[in-house]
Structure 1
Amino acid sequence: MTVAAVLAAGLAIYAVVAAVALPRLLGKASWTGRAPRLAIMVWQAACVSVVVSVLSAVFVLAVPAPVVGHGLAELFAECAEALADGPGLTAATALVGVGVTGALVARLAWCATAVLAGARAERRRHAEALALLGRHDGALDAIVVDFDERLAYCVPGRQGKAVITTAALRELSPEETAAVLAHERAHLRGRHHLVLAFGETFARAFPGMPLFERGRAELARLVELLADDLAARRHPRVLIASALVRLATGRAPAFTLGAGGESALARVRRLLAPAPPLGRGERVTGAFAVGLLLAGPAVTGLAPGLASLLAHHCLELLSF
């Protein structure tokens, strides 16, 4: 078995194992609630890592190392000639490589477009309804809607809006209202709807994959934790917690980000008994894990080409 075949097999095995094992490993990690922003990055990097591993495995098999090495040595000037004359690059391997790569990329692009376009259309229709049924409250800097259900949520987008119902205003104190609206504005400033769209895209593109299914749910949970933490910088955590208790039964529209929902009670416990933040060493380790997940598969896929570059070209330079 050639080196390229071994690397491709290793990348493929990693992709399968990661898709099954990483959701269990990350799902059991207790540190994610202490650093939700870092946890979001780790989940996203894990999802990207699996797809890049598959693409890298195809690349290793389809494009021989001398072709890559020659292309790197000549930069881009002789790339076309290297691809045409490189040993072992047949029409069949090129066709398979391009086909698999194109299919994966096209699938992700199609699903991303569908997710973003669908959410944008729903937000547009909801914004039109809010223009008719709601009123802007300058003191709250939010849209107030006459509705009997206790709700506070935000409608993300270029002109994002925080929304609260009259039932919620009757239930919450002014301090609690300010705290929960700070939570919603944290969603808007952080563009957390794009994080949710990322998770939805991967889960829809590759249905049934444990990593992507669990990742979608975890990203939805983590953006709420992150918004809680950001709101807690300006408002007491106990106020955010009490507001969440009062809004726990409310269900915001699916394409929005609401303060209540199924995770509200767990978030209340977290707010009232906060764990210490991660230390510097733990954060550095987490950042290293993100970099390894993102760069590892790609570097592995390019390793034969880089080795060919060093073997055939750097030695020629040293001989002068």
Structure 2
Amino acid sequence: MIAAVVLALYTVAAAIWLPRLMRVASWADRAPRLAIAMWQAAGVSVVGSAVLAAFALAVPADVVGHGLAGLFEACAAMLSDGAGLTAAGAGVLLVAGATVVRVLSCGAVVLARTGMERREHAELLGLLGRRDGDLDAVVLDYDERLAYCLPGRHAQTVITTGALRSLSPEQVAAVLAHERAHLHGRHHLVLAAAHTLARAFPKVPVFEEAKVEIARLIELLADDVAARRHPRVQIAAALVGLATGRTPAFALGAGGETALVRVRRMLHPASPLKRVERLAGVLSVGLLLSGPTAVALVPGVSSFLAHHCHSLLTL
């Protein structure tokens, strides 16, 4: 019972306060990959603690004290004829099941919708665009300065003739490297996961802010990957040239509203995280992922140890 209450309180507190704590962190722009992992772990932690709170309330701790066989037998009895399951326990298990089903269904909707939009856009590119072997990209005859990638089974990078006219060859190479970083990193799946949780639980601060922050951080991450092979000044110049471009919502583009902020970051790079800071971040991710599970297991493990220690003492 105590574990269920702790997990329920943590779910509410984390959903509200985790975004505020993470917003204060000034290191996120210095280590976008780690920051993305922390936002993802925060979302998993909140959903996981809610589901585990329901199971901790529905399944008595002393059931675990008889080992896995006893636990499976009790769970099977609960599922078959409701033996040992109270009305409150049945209610919270239904809520937990509904939570899982909602996350999965929203994920399916997000993937299906974006997949359909990308397929339709890919067909349009096949009609209006031309493949440039030297650039390894599709060139679209369009005056607006755009460069973006279209993820999916037939992933491709796209650049418009407007962008080619306004950018130098070095800047074009840099911006296409940025787009390929999105494709190789499968950043569309990271975004899909964030959009799934925000869609499944609207107005919840941790999911709403994670969706926005992850979208921003993957752009920083792609900039950093591109900067490994191209001068940062060329990336910054390309971002300035593409800042006003309006990338399709289902694609990942180099420009957009964060471009000017990223220009300053490219021209004035901050020092990378120290080893201690990075280790602290990794441990925080691990704590977010494992903490709720550990709390849920404490009563069962305590009961298990008490039962078996008592059995050994009576021999």
SS of aligned partner of 1:163: strand
Paired residue for 1:207? 202
In the alignment, which residue of structure 2 is the partner of 1:48?
A: 44
SS at match of 1:196: helix
Q: CA deviation at 1:319?
A: 5.4
Correspondences of 1:92-171 after superposition (within 5 Å): 92-171=87-166
Superposed displacement of residue 279, structure 1: 1.0
Q: Distance in 1 between matches of 2:97 and 2:107?
A: 15
Q: Which residue of 2 aligns with 1:68?
A: 64
1:26 correspondence with 2:22: yes
Change (3 A) 1:308 1:123: same
Residue 301 (str. 1) matches residue 296 (str. 2): yes
Q: CA deviation at 1:45?
A: 0.4
Residues 67, 145 of structure 1: CA spacing in aligned structure 2 closer, same or farther, 3 A cutoff? same
Q: Does 1:257 align with 2:269?
A: no
1:35 pairs with 2:31: yes
1:191 aligns with 2:186: yes
Query: Conserved in 2, the CA contact under 8 Å of 1:38 and 1:287?
Result: yes
Q: Output the amino acid matched with 1:292.
A: L
TM-score, normalization: structure 2? 0.95
| 1:234 aligned residue | 229
Cα shift readout 1:155-179 (whole Å, capped 9, x = no counterpart):
0012210000000000000000000
Give the TM-score of the pair, scaled to structure 1.
Answer: 0.93
String of CA shifts for 1:170-212, please: whole Å, max 9, x gaps: 0000000000000000000000001110110011000001111
Q: Gapped runs of 5+ residues in structure 2?
A: none
Contact 2:30 / 2:272 at 8 angstroms: preserved in 1? yes
Q: Which residue in the other structure is 1:80 paired with?
A: 73
* Amino acid paired to 2:134: A
1:286: which partner in 2?
A: 281
Q: Secondary structure at the match of 1:143?
A: strand
Aligned equivalent of 1:177: 172
Matched AA of 1:80: E
Report the secondary structure of 2:139's partner residue.
strand
The answer on whether the counterparts of 1:36 and 1:226 sit within 8 Å (CA) in structure 2 is yes
Counterpart-to-counterpart distance in 2, 1:81 and 1:183? 54
- Report deviation, 1:17: 1.3
- The answer to whether the Cα contact below 8 Å between 1:67 and 1:83 also exists between their aligned partners in 2 is no
Retained in 2: the 8 A contact 1:63–1:93? Answer: no
Whether the 8 Å CA contact 2:54–2:89 is kept in 1: the answer is no
The number of residues matched between the two structures is 311
CA distance in 1 between partners of 2:69 and 2:129 (Å) = 57
Give aligned-pair identity as a percent.
Answer: 61
Is the 2:147–2:175 contact (alpha carbons within 8 Å) kept by the matching residues of 1? yes
SS of match in other structure, 2:17: helix
When residues 9 and 77 of structure 1 are mapped into structure 2, their CA distance, relative to the original with a 3 A threshold, is: closer
What whole-Å deviation, never above 9, does each CA across 1:91-126 have from its counterpart, x for those lacking one? 424422320111100110010000001000000000
CA distance in 2, matches of 1:259, 1:133: 21
SS of the equivalent of 2:100 reads: helix
CA–CA distance in structure 2, aligned partners of residues 247 and 196 of structure 1: 22
Contact in 1 for aligned 2:3/2:53 (Cα 8 Å): yes
Quote the Cα distance in structure 2 between the aligned partners of 1:156 and 1:216. 18
Change (3 A) 1:312 1:297: same
Which whole-Å CA distance do the structure 2 matches of 1:220 and 1:99 have between them?
Answer: 33
In the aligned structure 2, how far is the partner of 1:78 from the partner of 1:161?
A: 50
Q: CA RMSD in A?
A: 1.6
Q: How much does 1:285 deviate? A: 0.7
- Structure 1 distance, partners of 2:164, 2:41, is 40
